[in-house]
Structure 1
Amino acid sequence: MRPLALAAFLAFGAATAMTAQAQTAPAYVASDGTLLSVSAQAEARRTPNIATLSTGVVTQAADANAAMRANAEQMSKVVAAIKAAGIADRDVQTGGINLNPQYRYAENQPPTITGYQANNNVNIVVRDLSKLGKILDALVATGANQINGPSFDIDDKEKDVAYDEARRSAIEKAQARAEMYAKTLGMKVRRIVSVSEGARFGPPMPMPMMAMGRMEKASADTPIAPGENALSMTLDVVFELGK
């Protein structure tokens, strides 16, 4: 039984090795074939349909507890405004809570703590861009004195569609280029040997941070211009050419 078992094991190991070798072996190319590597890039443009921004409250007080209490009170109003705007819980996430001492510096003297600064901010996703300007105004009106953003994006479903559009355009460009090379060389495109891809997302530049005090609601909503995002796809395609 042992010799038989050993023989079976060796046969299985050899088969496994052969399978692994077959998987890593380079693609077969006919002896009269020529490999042509082509890189083609295409992009699809879409109007963003979601925006992300961070907003929060900075408060200062003589002692740490007072700074945190004032911050919590003001931040509660900001969070209530976020919920009132229809932002779902899944689109609201705490970005950070910080408490830092404030110092006074004098020549030839050690720094002296003069008070404390508390900072609390949340990251939110706005899925209805028509409401974005109104939401920004509401945040400020209820106590937010820090806003960073917005930055615009495309939801995953629409992004997949756009990338597929770019893929199709890129492969068409690669095929046309391969046909041109083949015709110039007096050859024909036999087949595609391999395709590899790399994607690049080009969002518009975000708006700079706005640090502001409490203010009355403006007569008009803050204007927002989402522009367009470019989703780029680059394909590296290897063709086999032959007579």
Structure 2
Amino acid sequence: MRAALLVALALAASPALAGEERSAGTVSVIGHAQSETAPDFASIEIGVEAKAATPGDALDGTNAAARKLIALAAEFGVPEGEIGTTAVNLQPVTRMVRQPDGTAVEKPDGYRAANQVRIRLADIGKLGDLMRRALDAGANRIEGISFGLKDPDAAQAALRVAAVKDALTQASLLAEAAGVKLGPVISIQSPPREERAPMAFAAPMRAKARGGAPVPLVAGSIAASAEVAAVFAVVP
């Protein structure tokens, strides 16, 4: 973790502290902490799309592949709770037909159905193989891939602790440089910060290849930060 600090030091007279020591002022600091953590899961949305003359045939064209996707996820050790259907779509399709007089009219052209499944995979190293096997099972759409942390709150809590330690270290250095003694903490505030979202790849594509090599993927890292504003008393 890297730490940066903005500081402000005030040495004006102030009321007495508890006991016999009198405050010589305050030292205000903003402690920062940053981290880059490797993700511990990947989430991918894979689907199949089919077109047919009737609604039933269009849905049937996606159902078999969707069942194979769910079975494939289980084969990769994905728990049932980490597999879910995110979309089932069925809509009529039309096409433009040019008439002898040169005008174009819209004519019915069957139905298009789609079934999309989200899979959350803990073993990120198997993601490329899962994607290739999904294509072999009949999938023809990959809607997006994202990487994340199973317990982001724990990671953020650790960053806040590091930010408080950073604030204490910097306040101690400032007090020593000013020739005063660092007193008790007066206040600590941890303002909310906008965190950087996990790296995501969301480029929809239609896949036709079969029996090829696993898809190459790099998970990267997840950047996060925290800061606290702290005010300490100083005594002579």
Using the size of structure 2 for normalisation, the TM-score is: 0.76
Contact 2:27 2:175 in 1 (8 A): no
Residue 148 of structure 2 aligns with which residue?
Answer: 153
* CA distance in 2 between partners of 1:184 and 1:108 (Å): 86
State the distance in 1 between where 2:155 and 2:93 align. 49
Identity in percent: 26
The match for 2:66 is: 75
Change in 2 beyond 3 A, CA 1:167/1:110: same
Alignment of 1:25-174 (within 5 A): 30-31=15-16, 33=23, 34-105=25-96, 111-156=106-151, 159=152, 162-174=155-167
Task: Please tell me whether the aligned partners of residues 128 and 217 of structure 2 are also in contact (alpha carbons under 8 angstroms).
Answer: yes
Residues 51 and 129, structure 1, Cα contact 8 Å, conserved in 2: yes
Q: Deviations over 1:161-191 (max 9, x none)?
A: 5445423431232123323443455543211
Give distance in 1, aligned partners of 2:84 and 2:26: 51
Regions of 4+ moved over 6 Å: 106-110
Please give the secondary structure, in 2, of the residue aligned with 1:172.
helix
Work out which of the residue numbers 196, 209, 216 in structure 2 matches 1:202. Answer: 196
1:33-57 superposed Cα distances (whole Å, 9 cap, x missing partner) = 4444422211222222211111111
Q: Which residue of 2 aligns with 1:5?
A: none
CA pair 30-149 structure 1, distance change in 2 beyond 3 A? farther
Write 1 or 2 for the structure with the bigger share of strand: 2
Residue deviations 1:100-145 (CA, integer Å, cap 9, x gap) = 2223357976644322221211111101112111111111110111
Asked if structure 2 preserves the Cα contact closer than 8 Å seen for 1:200 and 1:233, the reply is: no
Unaligned runs of at least 5 residues, structure 1 = 1-28
Alpha-carbon shift at residue 64 of structure 1 (Å):
2.1
Q: CA RMSD in A?
A: 2.7
In terms of fraction of residues, the more helix-rich structure is: 1
Aligned to 1:222: 215
